[in-house]
Amino acid sequence: MEFSALQIATILHGEVVGNPDAVVSGLAKIEEGTSGTLSFLSNPKYEEYIYTTGASICIVNKTFEPIKDLPQSLTLVKVDDAYACFAKLLDVYNQMRQKQPKIEQPSFVADSAQVGEGLYLGAFAYISDGAKIGKNVKIYPHVFIGDGVTIGDDTIIHAVVKIYADCVVGARCVLHAGVVIGSDGFGFAPDENGVFSKVPQIGNVILEDDVEVGANATIDCATMGSTILRKGVKIDNLVHLAHNVEIGSHSALAAQVGVAGSAKIGKHVMVGGQAGISGHLHIADGTKIVAQSGIPNTVKKADTLMGSPGIPIEDFKKSYFGFRKLPFLLNKINELEQKVKLLSKTEE
């Protein structure tokens, strides 16, 4: 797929400096640009590369003025915000790469399922009884949609995703490869002999609009009621959310985060990779949790937490400074003990 400098400038409302007919068919970082690729410059730290780049077109800020000669093969597209415009162009490019409406074979759609117009259904996908699929949904190969599942308009479900019965996925959601929505929560009750019996998990999962879930993440259904991800939540790869968890709108959880059952996470919360959150607690709106932290108690007021158990980051830094001094302090204590012993012998 090719774009000319003029086409790019038109999309981005920018200005062409150089050859408006210059054509690109790929993307590259400015330091790795080659003929036929498009790059961008927004961070001044990378300006040196624009004077040697092999890229054919580079998106730059309108304020950019070269301090030496640019490559003759390079055309500039000047815009208000190079980074934002490059991101916009990536989105346009990504949209153009999306699958066109089509139902590939072999695939299965139950007679009682309702399918909206503009559906792309990949080979070996399965849509069960009573499912409701909105308009312009893209369902890639080997996806399983369970009984009574609802999927909103413009949602993209990548290959090998499994959505269990009665779950709800909103509009404009993206589920990446291997995601499992609605698997049983970890519910087991020991008897008097310590033998575990399974507690039936009869709830569902609700993803509101504009939720994105990374590859191989698992979101368990509720024991009763719903596990809920509110509007705009972003979940990274390999995250596990247990039964009856609720994530507030526009919160983001990085890779390998684990959230135990019935925890309630507020709005605009950010959780770093490999952090663990205990069950049946609440995390205040706006809280930030540093990677690998452990949160065992309710957080009532927004703060940045670090460590296990998580404490305010400034307190953690002070504690860590003290921890690093422990070997020195232990040596000092040993020295003092030896001196005390010598003094004791002298007095005897």
Q: pLDDT, tens digit, for every residue of 169-207?
A: 999 999 999 999 999 999 999 999 999 999 999 999 999
- Torsions phi, psi of 195, nearest 5? -90, 130
**Can you tell me the mean pLDDT for 85-114?**
90
**Can you tell me the mean pLDDT for 65-83?**
95
Q: For residue 70, count other CB atoms closer than 10 A to its CB.
A: 16
Q: Do domains 3-97 and 102-314 have the same CATH topology?
A: no
pLDDT band at 348 (very low <50, low <70, confident <90, very high): low
Candidates 3.40.1260.10, 3.40.50.1820, 2.160.10.10, 1.10.10.10; CATH matching 102-314:
2.160.10.10
Residue 320 pLDDT > 90: no
Active-site residue, from 176, 243, 250, 280: 243
* Domain extent listing, the chain: 3-97, 102-314, 323-347
Residue bearing the bigger pLDDT, 99 or 278? 278
Tokens read off for 249:
């709108």
**Can you tell me the mean pLDDT for 334-341?**
87
Size (the chain), residues: 348
Active site residue 243: yes
pLDDT value of position 321:
82
CB contact at 8 A, 122 and 141: yes
Q: For residue 283, count other CB atoms closer than 10 A to its CB.
A: 25
Least confident of 80-84, 99-103, 243-247, 320-324: 320-324
- Mind listing the pLDDT tens digit for each residue in 29-38? 999 999 999 9
For residue 178, is it left (φ>0), alpha (ψ between -120 and 50) or beta? left
- Torsions phi, psi of 91, nearest 5? -65, -45
Tokens read off for 305:
């937490």
3-97: CATH architecture? 3-Layer(aba) Sandwich (3.40)
